[in-house]
Amino acid sequence: MRRNVPHKLERGENAQMHTLEAIIASLIMVGIIIFTVQATSLTPLTSSTANAHIEAQLQAMGQDMLNALSYSPYGQDSALKKDILKWNGEQYVWNGTVYKTVRTPTHELRSSSLAETLEFVAVKRGIAHNVHFSWVDEEGVTISRRYIYNGDPSNNAVVISKRVHLSNFDVGNTTEFATRSGIPDADPTDFYNIVNVKMTLWRM
């Protein structure tokens, strides 16, 4: 009986060693799994990274459009300023073919460089878009009106803006322009107002 005691102790020690090795192996596997999950969240194939890439593309696209439209040859108004000066205060929506007013669907948005650019660049790529005009009234309150509206933007939408300076010379008949567009003369001098063109783009 005494000869079996050392053998049993050796078997017990071996069992403890195997148990310890199993625990260590389990901890290593858990560590590998945690590391893999954390590393996966940083790869370019994840949804968040893909969304960030799309947002960067939309931001660059919108900025390029507004920069091109705000370019003004010497002695001429920019296309963006012309669109503001021709605006009658109406809101337009894309109906799948053209931009039409909300109140009178038979009225189309014509001779608008901004609308033409959006149709050529955004609509053909399935990019939803809104455009707002905002300005400061006589009391210093910021007023915002929809120019083109196609619904509420998604969480991944981007916003690009461009300010357009208007003078009394640009507007011409200040009373008629204020009545038609709703944009008031904010200053008694030759300065008329500043219109902030805000474009919102998002993937449908």
Coil, strand, or helix at residue 5? helix
Residues 36 and 71 in one domain: no
Residues 184 and 198 in one domain: yes
Residues 83 and 154 in one domain: yes
Structure tokens, 99: 């931009």
> Stretch 122-134: mean pLDDT, rounded?
94
- Give the residue numbers spanning the domain of 158: 48-203
> Stretch 161-172: mean pLDDT, rounded?
95
CB 88 within 8 A of CB 181: yes
Answer with the residue of higher pLDDT: 145 or 56.
Answer: 145
Taking the C-alpha atoms of residue 31 and residue 87, their distance in angstroms, rounded to an integer, is 63
Residues 120 and 79 in one domain: yes
> Stretch 19-46: mean pLDDT, rounded?
53
Map tokens 């148990």 to a residue.
19
Residues 4 and 88 in one domain: no
158-167 and 142-148 beta bridge pairing: unpaired
Residues 118 and 135 in one domain: yes
**Confidence band, pLDDT 50/70/90 cuts, at residue 37:** very low
What are the strands of the beta sheet with 158-167, ordered from one edge?
99-101, 92-94, 142-148, 127-136, 191-203, 158-167
Structural domain tally of the chain?
2
CB-based contacts of 128, cutoff 8 Å, min separation 6: 122, 150, 151, 153, 201, 202, 203, 204
* pTM for the predicted model, two decimal places: 0.73
159 DSSP β-pair partners: 200
Residues 87 and 176 in one domain: yes
Residues 88 and 33 in one domain: no
Residues 38 and 72 in one domain: no
The number of beta carbons lying within 10 Å of the beta carbon of residue 45 is 7
Give the pLDDT score at 130. Answer: 96
Structure tokens, 24: 């260590």
Residues 97 and 151 in one domain: yes
Answer with the residue of higher pLDDT: 85 or 5.
Answer: 85
Residues 5 and 102 in one domain: no
Residues 108 and 80 in one domain: yes
**Confidence band, pLDDT 50/70/90 cuts, at residue 110:** confident
